[in-house]
Amino acid sequence: MLRLTTLATGLLLSANALALSLADLTQSDASSGLKDALSQGAQIAVKQLGKPGGFSNNEDVRIELPGKLGKAAQTMKMMGMGAQVDELEASMNKAAEAAVPQAQAILLDAVKKMTVTDAKGILAGGDDSATQYLNKSSRAEIRAKFLPIVKQATDKVGVAKQYNAFAGQAAAFGVVDAKSANVENYVTEQALDGLFKMIAEQEASLRENPAGAATSLAKKVFGAL
Kindly indicate the confidence band of residue 74, based on its pLDDT and cuts at 50, 70 and 90.
Answer: low
Q: How far apart are CA 158 and CA 162, in angstroms?
A: 7
161: how many CB neighbours lie within 10 A of its CB? 13
Identify the CA nearest to 199 among candidates 115, 118, 104. 104
More confident site: 72 or 55: 55
Write down the pLDDT at residue 105.
97
pLDDT exceeds cutoff 90 at 223: no
Kindly indicate the confidence band of residue 18, based on its pLDDT and cuts at 50, 70 and 90.
Answer: very low
Residues with Cβ < 8 Å from 103, sequence gap 6 or more? Answer: 42, 46, 138, 142, 145, 146, 195
Mean pLDDT in residue range 120-147? 94
Q: How far apart are CA 99 and CA 76, in angstroms?
A: 28
pLDDT exceeds cutoff 90 at 225: no
Poorest-confidence range of 25-29, 102-106, 130-134, 162-166?
A: 162-166
pLDDT exceeds cutoff 70 at 20: no
4-16 pLDDT tens trace = 444 444 434 333 3
pLDDT exceeds cutoff 70 at 68: no
Q: How far apart are CA 187 and CA 170, in angstroms?
A: 17
192-219 pLDDT tens trace = 999 999 999 999 999 999 999 999 989 9
pLDDT exceeds cutoff 90 at 221: no
Write down the pLDDT at residue 96.
95
